[in-house]
Chains A and B, each alone.
Chain A
Amino acid sequence: MKLPHFDYQAPASLDEAVALLVAGDGGARPLAGGQSFVPIMAFRLAEPSMLVDLRKIPGLDQIEIGDEGVRIGAMVRWRDLLDDARLASALPLLPAAIDHVAHYQIRNRGTVGGSLAHADPAAEMPTIALTCDAVIDVIGSKGKRSIPAADLFTGPLMTSLDSDEIITSVLLPAWPASRRWGFQEFSRRRGDFALAGIAVFYDEDASGVVANAHIGAISVGDTPLRLSKAEAALNGRKIDEATLAEVAAVASGEVDPNGDIHASARYRKALVGTLLSRALSAAANRKA
C-alpha cells in the first residue's frame, strides 16, 4: 500500500499555494494534516499530480475568540482545540465533539480545515460546522469568499470548493453562556467512525421553554445533516420525557441512512432518536 507518485510543494504563502493549484489544473490537491487523505492515497483511491502542503503558510494555526464567535484557522489541529481551555466556555460543544475524533496520534496532526474540505459525513467537524451555522472562509484564484456551512457540503466527500480553493478559517458564531447543548456519538470502538452521532444546542427562557434549537446528525446521510423537523418539534417545548420521546421519533423519521457492514439502516435510523434523546437529556440536566 505504497503511495502513488505525486509532486510535492510546500509554498510559503496562500497566493503561491493557489497559483500551484491553478497550475495543477484540477490534479493538484492541498495537503493539510493528511490524516484522511494519505490513507486514501495509500489505497490508491486518489492519485493527485501534486500535493500542495500548507504547513509553511503563516497565520492558519490561530484560534481567535471574540465578539463574533470562535474563528479557527484551517491548520489548527484537533489537539490544539482540546488543549485550549477557553473553548470550554466559548464553545463547549466543540471540544465535546472533537474528543471523539480518531485517536491521540491522529489528533496531533489532523486539522480543522482538512476535515471540512474532506467533507466526510461520518466525521465530527463538518456536522459541528453545520449545526453551529458556521461560515467557512476560503481563498482561490477568484479571490476570497465566505461559504455558509450549509452550502459547503454537497455529497459524500464532496464540497462546493473549486479545485483551486483553499479553506483558510472557519467562524463558529458566538455562543451565549446560558446556552444548553449535548453531544452524543456511538461508534463500534473508541475512535472509529460514528454509526451515528448527534450535536444539539438550544436556548431557553426562564421557564425552560426551548428556542433556537439546532440539531445536527453525523453519519446518517451523504452529507452532515441538520434535522429541521426535530428542531421544529423541539422549539417551544420544555424538556421532559414526552418531549424527548416525541423529538426522538421525529428525528428518527427524518433521516434515511444507508446500511453497511457495520450496522443496518434500520438500526442507524433508530440510533439517531436514541442519541438525540440522550443528548437533550444531558443538555437539560447539565448544571449551568
Chain B
Amino acid sequence: MKPASHHTQNSYVGGHIERVEDYRFLRGEGQYLDDVSRPGQWQAAFLRSPVAHGRIVKIDASAALALPGVHAVVTANDIEGEIPTIPFRRPNPTIGPYAQPIIARDKVRYYGEPVAMVLADSAELAEDALGVIVLDIDTLPPVIAREAAMSDKVLLFDEVKTNVPTVFNADKGDAEAAFAAADYTIRDQFYTQRQTALPMETRGLLAEWDAKLGKLSVSGAAKLPFFNRKAMAKMMKLPEEAVDYIELDVGGGFGARGEFYPEDYLVAFGARKFGRPVKWIEDRREHLMAIGHSRECSSDVELAFSKDGVILGMRGSLYVNVGAYVRPNGMTPVRNAAQFMSGPYRVPAIHLDAYAFVSNKTPAGTYRGPGRYEGCFFIERLMDQAAAGLGIDRLEIRRRNLITHAEMPYPLATVLPSDGRAETQCDSGHHLEPFELVVKDSNWAEKAALQGKLIDGRYHGIAIGSFIEGGASGPQENVRMELHADGKVGLYAGSSAIGQGLETILSQIAADALELPMERIEVFHGSTTYLKEGWGSFGSRATVMGGSAVLDAAKKFLAAFKIHAAARLGVTIEEVTVSEGVARTADGRSVPLAEVVKDGINVDGSFKNQTPTYTYGTSFAHVAVDAGTGHVEVIDYVVADDVGRIINSMTLHGQVMGAAVQGFGSVFSEELVYSDEGQLMVGSLADYLVPLASDYPVVRCHSLESYPSPTNPLGAKGAGEGGIIPVGGVVANAVANALSSFGVKPNVLPLSPSRVWEMIEDARAKA
C-alpha cells in the first residue's frame, strides 16, 4: 500500500524526530514580533468602537494630540478616496458588498471595530492618548441574534438590502426521494457557540517604509505571507515587488492568525505616511474583540435511515453568524459545515442549505477544523439518537455506514455557489480500521456496562464517533534549494511556520531526499523575500504541499550536483552516481557536495495540486458527570487517525493531542458571549476559559498510515486539525449517554457546568 517512494539511505521520514526549532525556543532565543524593535519606531494603538452598531458623529483627537510623545491620530478622514476593503481569499459572487473596510468611516458595525489609530513614542503613551479621544457615536439598533439578522428589519448594509450574504447549497443525489423512502428519520436542532483560536502570542506588526526605494516591509507575517503581500500591494496601490512580508517566530495560529486584518493596513499606512517604523502589539483584551471569531452555527438537520440502520439521506439548514463583515475566509466555515457534515459516513443523498448571516459582532474567520467540528457535532448527535430510535447498537450503526476502502475515491456533496472548490472527494482510506482500533483500545466491550451508571455520585457515559479532516489545500507550493558556502543546503520554503514544527518536517523530507544528515539542511520560510511566489500554511497543507515541493527540488538539486560533478570528473552525467552527498564514478573517483560550492546550485521546486487529502479517524470519550455541580470529567479519551504517511510521529501526536484538548475547551468552557446590546462580555483570559493543565490529563493517540494519499508523492495527508473535529460530537454523546436516565439532549454547546446542571434539573422537573 505504500507509495512508490524515492529510495534513500536515510530514514528521517516516519521517525520520532526531535525538533530542530526547540533549541532556540527552550533557551529563550526565539524571535517573536515584539522581540524586534527599530530605532525611532512609533507604537500604534487603536481606538475601537465601544458600541455594536452606530453612526460616527465626531472624532475629536485634539486632547490626544496635545499629549507629549503622541505624534498622530489617524482616522478615516486621513485615507484619501474610498476606504480600501480587505480582499477575499475565497470570493463568491454575492459577498462583494460585505467586505471589511480597513477603518470605520461613517458607520461602526461591531464592538471593537477600529475607528482611529494613535501613533506615539511608546505603547503606554499611545494608550494614554486613546483615553482622551472624544468619540461621539449615534447608536443604531444592534443586530445580534439569528432571527433579528435574517428578518432584515435592521440592515447592516443599506445598499444590499439583506443581512444574508450567501446561502450555500450542498447537494448530492436526491434527498427528497431518500426521505420519502425512509423507514426512520431523526431531526433535531443544534448550536455551537462562538469561539476563537486564541494563540498564545497575540498579533503584532512592524511596518517600515523605505521612501528612497519605495518599498514597504511588514514583519509579523504568518500563515499567508504571499496572499497578504498581494492584498497589501493592491490596497496600497503599490507594485507587488514593493512589498515584503517577513515572518519571525510565530506563537501559534490555529487558523485565526495571519489573515489580513484592518490593523495590518493601518499600521503600514502609518509607516508610509509618516516615514517612521510603526509597531503594533495587539493586547489580549483587544485580541478577543479583534481577531477572527468562529464556530457560531445553529442547525436544523435530519437524517433518513432504512430500518436496518443504513443512512439514506440527509437534509436541513445551517445558519452561521459571520459577524459584521465577510473577512478574507469568513465563508469557509459556512461552506465547510455544509460540505463536510456527512463526514465519514456514506450518505447517498444530501440537501443542505447553509446560510451565512451578518450581525453586529466581530467578523468571523476560521478556527482549526472550520465547519467540520460543527458538522461533526451535528451528525454524531443524530447518529446516537438514531441508534436509540432504531434499537441498534451505537457501534453497529456506525459500522454499517462508515465509508470503506472499496468506495474510494468517495465524492462528498457539491457546494454552490462555488468558491473555487465546489466538488471534492475523500482520496483514500478505510474508516473501519481506526474505528475498530478505537473500539478495542478504549475497551468499549467492558466499558459498555458503565453506560448511564451512577458510581460514587457521578454518572458515567461513553461514546464514539468518526471524522474526516480536509488537508493539503491547493493550488501550489514552491521551494528553492541552494547550496551554501559551508556545504549546507538552504531550503527556502513558501510554507509558513506557525509553531507546528515546519522546519523539522521539511528538514526530514529534504534530508531523506538528498541523503544528507538533517544537520546539513537549513530551512528558511514564510518570508516573501525568499521566493517569487509561495502560499503558506493553512488548511493543513504545509507538510503535503511544501514537503512534495521539497521532493521536486531535491530531484533537481541532485541533478545539478551530477552535472557539476561530471564536469569536474571529466565524465558524462550518466557515468556519475550520487549517494549520501558524494558523486562517484564507477572507477572509484568521487566529488563531495561541498566541493561544488563554487559551481553553485540553486534550484526551484514546486508542487501543484488541487485535490485535497482527507485524513480520517475515530475518537472515544468516557466521561463522568457530577449531577450536583454539572461538572463533567473526561476520564478517558482515545483518538486514532490515518494520515496516509507519517512524517514525524512525535509532531503528529503533538498536533492531534493538542487539538483534542483545544476541543475540550470548545465543548466545555470557551465562549465569546455577547450582551443583547452587542457588547462582548468576554474581555480577559479569566473569562475566556481555555483548558488548563489540571483539566484534561488523559488523551491517547494512535496514528495509522495504512492508506497513503494518491494525490502527492509523499502519500501524506494534512493532519493539523483532525484532533479537534470529533470532540464536540463525541463528548456530547458521552454526556448524553451518562445522563440517559434523565433523557437529556446536549444539543447546545458549550456544556458548561451550569448548562449541564440545568439540563438535568429541567429533565427532573418534567419527570
A touches B in complex, CB < 8 A:
yes
The residues in A between 185 and 222 inclusive whose CB is less than 8 angstroms from any CB of B are 186, 188-193, 195
Q: B127, B691, B754, B757 — which one has the most chain A CB atoms within 10 A of its CB? A: B754
Please, how many angstroms separate the alpha-carbon atoms of A19 and B131 in the complex? 30
Q: Is the CB of A190 within 8 A of B694?
A: yes
Q: Is the CB of B687 within 8 A of A261?
A: yes
Q: Is the CB of A43 within 8 A of B757?
A: no
Q: Is the CB of B124 within 8 A of A2?
A: yes
Interface flag for B631 (CB, 8 Å): yes
Question: For B754, what are the chain A residues with a Cβ–Cβ distance below 8 Å?
Answer: 195, 262-264, 267
The residues in A between 246 and 273 inclusive whose CB is less than 8 angstroms from any CB of B are 261-264, 266-267, 270-271
Interface flag for B121 (CB, 8 Å): no
Interface flag for B673 (CB, 8 Å): yes
Please, how many angstroms separate the alpha-carbon atoms of A44 and B122 in the complex? 17
Q: Is the CB of A186 within 8 A of B687?
A: no
Interface string of A1-44 (1 = CB under 8 A from B): 11111000000000000000000000000000000000100011
Interface flag for B763 (CB, 8 Å): no
Interface flag for B233 (CB, 8 Å): no
- Of the listed stretches B85-93, B638-646, B678-686, B715-723, chain A binds B678-686
Q: Of B284, B695, B753, which is within 8 A of A195 by CB?
A: B753
Interface flag for A274 (CB, 8 Å): yes
Please, how many angstroms separate the alpha-carbon atoms of A43 and B761 in the complex? 38
Please, how many angstroms separate the alpha-carbon atoms of A8 and B281 in the complex? 27
Q: Is the CB of B753 within 8 A of A188?
A: yes
Measured between C-beta atoms, what is the minimum distance from B472 to chain A in Å? 36
Q: Is the CB of B681 within 8 A of A189?
A: no
Q: Is the CB of A263 within 8 A of B753?
A: yes
Please, how many angstroms separate the alpha-carbon atoms of A271 and B689 in the complex? 20
Question: For B694, what are the chain A residues with a Cβ–Cβ distance below 8 Å?
Answer: 189-190
* Contact-residue bracket for chain A: 20 to 34
Measured between C-beta atoms, what is the minimum distance from B125 to chain A in Å? 9
How many A-B residue pairs have C-beta atoms within 8 angstroms? Tell me. Answer: 68
Measured between C-beta atoms, what is the minimum distance from A250 to chain B in Å? 17
User: Secondary structure of the A side of the interface?
Assistant: loop
Please, how many angstroms separate the alpha-carbon atoms of A278 and B631 in the complex? 15
Q: Of A43, A44, A186, A261, which is within 8 A of B631 by CB?
A: A186
Q: Is the CB of B752 within 8 A of A262?
A: yes
Q: A2-B127, A267-B630 are in contact. Are A192 and B686 (CB under 8 A)?
A: yes
Please, how many angstroms separate the alpha-carbon atoms of A188 and B695 in the complex? 10
Question: For A43, what are the chain B residues with a Cβ–Cβ distance below 8 Å?
Answer: 285, 683-684
Q: Of A2, A3, A191, A270, which is within 8 A of B757 by CB?
A: A270
Q: Is the CB of A266 within 8 A of B758?
A: yes
Question: For A189, what are the chain B residues with a Cβ–Cβ distance below 8 Å?
Answer: 669, 689, 691-692, 694-695
Q: Is the CB of B629 within 8 A of A190?
A: no
The residues in B between 560 and 608 inclusive whose CB is less than 8 angstroms from any CB of A are none
Please, how many angstroms separate the alpha-carbon atoms of A5 and B754 in the complex? 40
Q: Is the CB of A263 within 8 A of B752?
A: yes
Please, how many angstroms separate the alpha-carbon atoms of A3 and B123 in the complex? 10
Q: A43-B285, A261-B687 are in contact. Are A190 and B692 (CB under 8 A)?
A: yes
Please, how many angstroms separate the alpha-carbon atoms of A190 and B692 in the complex? 8
Interface flag for B628 (CB, 8 Å): yes
* Smallest CB gap from A259: residue in B: B754
Please, how many angstroms separate the alpha-carbon atoms of A1 and B684 in the complex? 11
Q: Is the CB of B629 within 8 A of A193?
A: no
Going nearest first, the 7 A-B pairs with the smallest beta carbon separation are A263-B754, A190-B694, A274-B628, A267-B754, A2-B124, A1-B283, A261-B673
Can you give 26 A-B contacts (C-beta < 8 A)? A1-B284, A2-B124, A5-B124, A5-B128, A43-B285, A43-B683, A44-B131, A186-B753, A188-B689, A189-B692, A190-B692, A192-B686, A192-B689, A193-B686, A195-B753, A261-B681, A262-B687, A262-B752, A263-B752, A263-B754, A264-B758, A266-B758, A266-B761, A267-B753, A271-B628, A271-B757
Q: Which residues of B contact A (CB under 8 A)?
A: 122-124, 127-128, 131, 283-285, 628-631, 669, 671, 673, 681-684, 686-687, 689, 691-692, 694-695, 752-754, 757-758, 761
